[in-house]
Structures are given as C-alpha cells and as structure tokens.
Amino acid sequence: MKQLYDVIIIGGGVVGSAIAREMSRYRLKIGVLEKNLDVCYETSGRNSGVVHGGFAYDTGSLKARLCVEGNRFMEQLAEELDFKFIRCGKVLVGNTAEDMETLKRTIRQGEENGAAGLELIGKERLHQLVPAVAGEFAMFSANSGIVDPFNYTVALAENAHANGAAYYFDHEVTGIRRDSQGNYILMTPNGEFHTRWVVNSAGLGCGKISGMLGIRGYKVIGSKGDYIILDKRTGPLLPMPVYPVPSNTYMGIHVTNTTDGNVIIGPNAEMVTDFTYYGVPQENMDYLAKSASDLWPCIHKKDYIRSYSGILPKWVDENGVIQDFKIEIRDDIAPRAINLVGIESPGLTAAVPIARHAVCLMEEREKLTPNPEFNPVRKGIPRFAEMTKEEQEQMIRQNPDYGQVVCRCEKVTRAEILAAIHNPLGVDTMAGIKYRTRSMMGRCQGGYCQMRIAQMIEEESGKKETEVRYARKDSQMFFGRVREEV
C-alpha cells in the first residue's frame, strides 16, 4: 500500500520551503516535490536579493500586506535560521518635477500599506547616504534591505526537513488525479505520491499545476530579467540599493549591493514564453550598464565577473494587466488543494507570510494539532572568511580541514566544502556546493577551485567523474577521460 501524506507541496523554492516549514509546526506528514536538483535553481535564486519595504504595491493587495509583514520580522527569521540579512535602506532617485510627484505618491501609498521609515530627502542627504549616486533628490526607505537569497531558501528547506518534511528532488509532477476517497495522486517520472492535501507552489509552473488541479483560466507569463555581477572592489561605493523612480508596473534597472560585498546591475524586463532559457545577450548587458550608469556612474567592464538572469511568473488578465498574488482553495473544484498563482516579486520578502496565509486557509477546513517537537532554529555552515584571526586559529586546532583553503577568491576552506557536500538535503551538485559556501563565486569564478571541488564530490559521494553534475539533470561536468592513466 502506498504511504499517504497529509500534505504534498509542489515546488521547493523559497515559498514552497517556507510553507513546508510553517506546516511542520503541526503534526503533519509533509512531502516536497521539486523538479530541480536543489531548492534555488529558478526564481528563488535568480533575483536581486532585495527585502522590499512594501511601498510599491497597490494598497489593499496581498502583495502589499504580506510584503510589509515579511519585512518587519526578517531580523528574527535571519537569527533563527542563520542566513545573512542587512537592513541597509534603499533610495529611489529622481531629477525632475514629475519624479518628485511620483515619489510623493509612492510615499503616500507606502504609508497606507503600513510601510514605515519612508521620507523625501534632498541632494545633500542623498549624497551622504550614497556618495557616488547621480541625482537631485530621492525617497529613502530606511526599512528596506538585502538578503542572501540562496542561503535564505536553503535555510528554510533545511529547517523544514529537520522538522520532518521530506524533500524529493528530480520529481517533476506530470499529472494529478484523485482516488475514490478524494485523496490526490501525484504522478512523477520517479513514482506516484498519495496525499490528502496538495499545495501548488510551483513558481514558473504554477499555471500548469493549477490546470492539472482543474483550476483553469490563469494566464501566466514570464518576465525575464538580466543581471551583471561586479567585483567586490566596487562594493564600498554602494552602501544600499539605488533605484530610479518607478513606473506603474516596473521598478526599473537598479544597482544593488549584496550581503557578500558584490554589486549587481539589473534587471531589465522582457516578456518571454520560454521559462527555461537563462542566457544573457551582450546587447542586454550593454543596455544594463548604460542605463544604470545614469544612477551610479561607477560601472566599468573590468569589474564584470559574471552575468545571470531570472524569470518571474506573472499572472495577467485578458488585457495583459499584472494581477495580485492568488492564494486560494477552490472547494468546488479542488478541495484540500491550496493553489498559489503569480507569486513573483515581492515573493522573497513575503515568503513566510505567504506560508502562514496558506496555513490559515488549511486551518479553516480542518483542525491542526501543534507539533511539540518543532524547532525553529537552524545553524548554517560557519564561514571561515568572516571569522576573527583568533576564531580561525581555534577552528583549525579543532579541525585541520579549516587550515586548507580550496576557494582562494572567497577564502572557502576544505571543511566548509565537506560540510556542504554532506548537506542535510542530500544535494550533490556543483551549484549546490557553490550556493552553500560561496566557492566559485569570486573573481575567477571557479577557475582555481572548481576542479578541486568536483574531485571532492567524487571522493565523498563515491561518484564517477561522469556522474558529477553542475546544476541540472543533464549538466555533467565530464563525459569521460581525454586519456587513460598508465
């Protein structure tokens, strides 16, 4: 007999993992089906890493309410789950009278939404906050911040897993049906899963899964944004994110500092139907640099170290107008199915409030029993590069592997790589190690350490060299030997 789950969550990104964590507060048998080989290979790991203030969304919308709520307790969450969050503030920079009126409206909307710490500032204060910025005035959002999106997502997933949620990678849902008792049967290439409840948190696949549940009519389009990552030496020139004055639907190409000291340029916004293509054309990089230089004239090609892109799932109406988050249970069509559609920005900021909202919908339909063994605390991998000299010496005495640096750019040690290889979720890809340690993220982008890490994965997991994958199922690092050893 197939085991019956209480809840299966489709999608293990930041929102799916937040839902898994919130539901693990109760006595529920929880499974998470993720089509990729890790939790942050799509939208959750391909964004600006900004914790938004909540002023940019229509008053009364779920986006506004849940964003403001998520912003307020991000420090508490970062402390519990041991990921990086910095409440550094953010500025929206203007130059014209029209810009001034837009910023005044933005402040009014933000205050109606419950966002705090919003103020108009003049040129002198603006340049005190961000000396290198180009602009005449700005709206300052003191409560905005930045987060490490990789470790935030991983932390939620690891904590959910530690509290009993089972993660199944490479399990794309290909079909959904119901049995004679009304339970859901989820089909994947690797077997069937039976569950009383199902949660559609599939991100870019939300429209497809919604249709499988019988909830049709949602049009989901992709908004692809390209980014450039700059070397850490540019970091001191940007103490907080710098944005242009927003339009009605687009925050514009901005410049963002990161929790690890890099600077990110982007994104642009291109509507796409292919949700799998993440290439960044040269002309797009040139456009990003030119546009962002109007705000922050410190962008030089010599500082480029990488480009990347992300795709947001936007739910639009028949006129192409972007809609609010949809978090629903359609009892008449798909009872005991929580359907999430169009969870785009500010989904990273709002992930935990979205999860709590989903749990509330479930609680309206059945009594949930608290899990007395739930533990909200998760500890990440200690970062050698961020320790004091005394702490580093102590760590080396306790574990000599801390004395061997594998990634020179980011000063990541063998001990950290080993901890990442043996991560609680069982992820064994190169990108999985990268996102957990910052190895291969420095100036040389893995030129020195990548092959060493691949060899460590082979040795620790007993894999052949042809079985080591970079990120996705068909992304083998090696296809064989150039020559045989003699």
Rounded to 10 degrees, what is the CA torsion of 207, 208, 213, 214? 80
Q: What is the pLDDT of residue 483?
A: 80
For residue 66, give the H/E element and its range.
helix 62-72
CA–CA gap between residue 210 and residue 372 (Å, rounded): 33
Q: Which amino acid is at 22?
A: E
Tokens (6 digits) for 127: 């340049």
Q: What is the pLDDT of residue 481?
A: 83
**Which residues in the chain show pLDDT less than 70?**
1, 248-250, 486
CATH 3.40.50.150 fits 85-147+220-312, yes or no: no
Which DSSP category does 451 fall into?
Answer: H
Nearest to 355 by CA among 5, 6, 24: 24
Pairing of strands 90-94, 242-244: parallel
Q: What is the pLDDT of residue 286?
A: 97
Contacts of 440 (CB under 8 A, 6+ apart): 407, 430, 433, 434, 446, 449, 450, 453
For domain 384-467, give its CATH number from 1.10.10.60, 3.90.1200.10, 1.10.10.1100, 2.30.31.20. Answer: 1.10.10.1100
Give the residue range(s) of CATH 3.30.9.10 domains in the chain: 85-147+220-312
Q: What is the pLDDT of residue 482?
A: 81
Tokens (6 digits) for 317: 């109406």
Q: What is the pLDDT of residue 68?
A: 98
Give the residue range(s) of CATH 1.10.10.1100 domains in the chain: 384-467
Within 10 A of 379 (CB to CB), how many other CB atoms are there? 10
